[in-house]
């Protein structure tokens, strides 16, 4: 399975910053230097069109950091999946832990967003993950299993068209990283859950997200069920993000 490396810029960026970062990514010629990995970046909504245009013709895809579960209507402030697709994006992150935590998104809302993304022709990157308290209480599998089950139950045959990202909340932006063995154990559990629901879902890419850096990327990506990464802070530095893509 080809690796997938996705950079989540979160609430960062400006036209000047974006231009410099993109220049660094294009100069790396990832199609030639990281041929075994698909690469994408997810900028804030307001820069989506500009980033798509700047990366046009390159090997780097573009995604959104979220989409609405609604296709249209009286939903002020929301951005619909068809709008994102019309701008040229290919992916949409749904269910990021920051959306679940800060915006109260439930497992069902995340599943609805994944379905809306698919309906618009986007590939949803469905995020699951546990907090430190949940890990320490031995609830990791129960938590991520519940989060993924909502998506499995809603999508049915479309399950094969998603990407899943495991992002332990305790390792996001903290500098802490799950060991390769810890990450692999959860990825293996998720893989088994997907295959149990639908045999063809064995081909669903599983990404690891949580303080991935150039110095730990290769070891993480070498695990049997880790098919790439959802990269946060390191995606804001061209040299680091390029190094991670090449490690894949």
Write the DSSP string, 131-152. -HHHHHTT-HHHHHHHHHHHHH
Q: Confirm whether 136 is a catalytic residue.
A: no
pLDDT in tens, 92-132: 999 999 999 999 999 999 999 999 999 999 999 999 999 98
The predicted pLDDT at position 127 comes to: 98
Whole-number Cα distances in Å, 90 to 7, 49, 172, 199:
13, 12, 24, 25
Strand partners, 105: none
Catalytic residue, chosen from 96, 98, 105, 187, is 96
pLDDT band at 228 (very low <50, low <70, confident <90, very high): very high
**Domain 3-247 CATH assignment equals 3.30.1330.10:** no
Q: Of these residues, 98, 105, 130, 167, which one is catalytic?
A: 167
pLDDT of residue 222: 97
Tell me, yes or no, if 96 is annotated catalytic: yes
Domain ranges in the chain?
Answer: 3-247
pLDDT, one tens digit per residue, over 138-178 is: 999 999 999 999 999 999 999 999 999 999 998 877 777 78
Mean pLDDT of 20-28: 97
What pLDDT is attached to residue 184? 97
Backbone angles phi, psi at 85, to 5 degrees: -65, -40
Rounded to an integer, the average pLDDT of 17-28 is: 97
Cα 217 from Cα 38, distance rounded (Å): 15
Give the C-alpha separation, 46 to 185, whole Å. 37
For residue 172, what pLDDT is reported? 74
CA distances from 162 to 5, 74, 155 (A): 15, 28, 10
pLDDT of residue 64: 98
Please give the pLDDT value at position 177. 72
192 band by pLDDT with thresholds 50, 70 and 90:
very high
Mean pLDDT of all residues belonging to the chain: 96
pLDDT above 90: percentage of residues in the chain? 93
Predicted confidence at residue 121, as pLDDT, reads 98
Task: Say if residues 62 and 89 touch (Cβ distance below 8 Å).
Answer: yes
pLDDT digits (tens, 9 = 90+) for 176-188: 778 999 999 999 9
């Amino acid at each position: 399975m080809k690796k997938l490396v996705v950079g989540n810029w979160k609430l960062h960026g400006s036209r000047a910053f974006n231009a410099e970062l993109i220049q660094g990514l294009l100069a790396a010629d990832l199609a030639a230097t990281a041929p075994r990995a698909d690469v994408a970046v997810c900028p804030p909504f307001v820069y989506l069109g500009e980033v798509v245009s700047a990366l046009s013709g390159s090997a780097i895809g573009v995604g959104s950091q979220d989409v609405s579960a609604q296709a249209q209507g009286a939903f002020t402030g929301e951005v619909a999946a068809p709008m994102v697709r019309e701008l040229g994006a290919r992916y949409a992150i749904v269910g990021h832990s920051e959306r679940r935590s800060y915006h109260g998104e439930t497992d069902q809302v995340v599943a609805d967003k994944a379905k809306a993304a698919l309906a618009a022709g986007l590939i949803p990157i469905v995020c699951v993950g546990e907090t430190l308290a949940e890990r320490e209480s031995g609830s990791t599998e129960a938590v991520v299993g519940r989060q993924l089950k909502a998506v499995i139950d809603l999508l049915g045959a479309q399950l094969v068209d998603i990407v899943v990202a495991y992002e332990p909340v305790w390792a996001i932006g903290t500098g802490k990283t799950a060991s390769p063995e810890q990450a692999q154990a959860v990825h293996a559990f998720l893989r088994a859950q997907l295959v149990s629901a639908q045999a063809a879902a064995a081909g669903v890419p599983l990404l690891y997200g949580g303080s991935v850096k150039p110095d730990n990327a290769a070891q993480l990506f070498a695990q049997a069920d880790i098919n790439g990464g959802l990269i946060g802070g390191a995606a804001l530095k061209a040299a680091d993000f390029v190094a991670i893509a090449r490690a894949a």
